Amino acid sequence: MNQKTVQRIKKEQQDNILEELRREKAAVLTRASWAVEEVIEKMGRIDGEIQFKLSCLQAVNGHHDSSDLLRRRRLIYEEINRHVEEFNSCRQKAQLKYYYLIVTREALGLRRHEMVQKIYRIPDKKKKIELNNG
């Protein structure tokens, strides 16, 4: 083999390794992004449950207060507050996954995160509601 052939083979091997590294970087970023996305989507589903329960609560609040309605109202409040706890727990997880995504980007040499911040907006923490006996 002549010198040019050896250099060409080395260049091809180097190009293959670089391409493999690019693919692996993309895969790592994709997995980190999906992890954030997954938790934010779960928060959306939980928020949907909260909104549904709030509408149920409004429907129950329109009627006169019987012991059955008061019990039902109390159960709905408890369900809403359980969903709020679950939402806030998911929010903490989303913040952690988002942090991992940013650290991964930084480790790969990506320093600008403005677009990532726009894409992966983590909703505010929710507050529990108090039982209203009226």
- Whole-number Å distance between alpha carbons of 58 and 81: 15
70-85 pLDDT per residue, tens? 888 899 999 999 999 9
Give the whole-number percent of the chain exceeding pLDDT 90.
Answer: 78
Say how many CA atoms lie within 13 Å of 100 toward its Cβ: 16
Q: What is the pLDDT of residue 17?
A: 95
Answer whether residue 70 is part of any domain: no
Q: What is the pLDDT of residue 61?
A: 76
Answer whether residue 127 is part of any domain: no
| Residue 66 three-state SS | coil
Answer whether residue 124 is part of any domain: no
Q: What is the pLDDT of residue 134?
A: 46
Q: What is the pLDDT of residue 68?
A: 84
Identify the band that residue 133 occupies on the pLDDT scale cut at 50, 70 and 90.
low
Answer whether residue 58 is part of any domain: no
Answer whether residue 29 is part of any domain: yes
Residue 109 has pLDDT above 50, yes or no: yes
Residue 52 has pLDDT above 60, yes or no: yes
Average of per-residue pLDDT across 48-60 = 91
Answer whether residue 128 is part of any domain: no
How many domains is the chain partitioned into structurally?
A: 1
Structural domain including 85 reads 3-46+78-119
Average of per-residue pLDDT across 60-74 = 81
**Structure tokens belonging to residue 53:** 């329960």
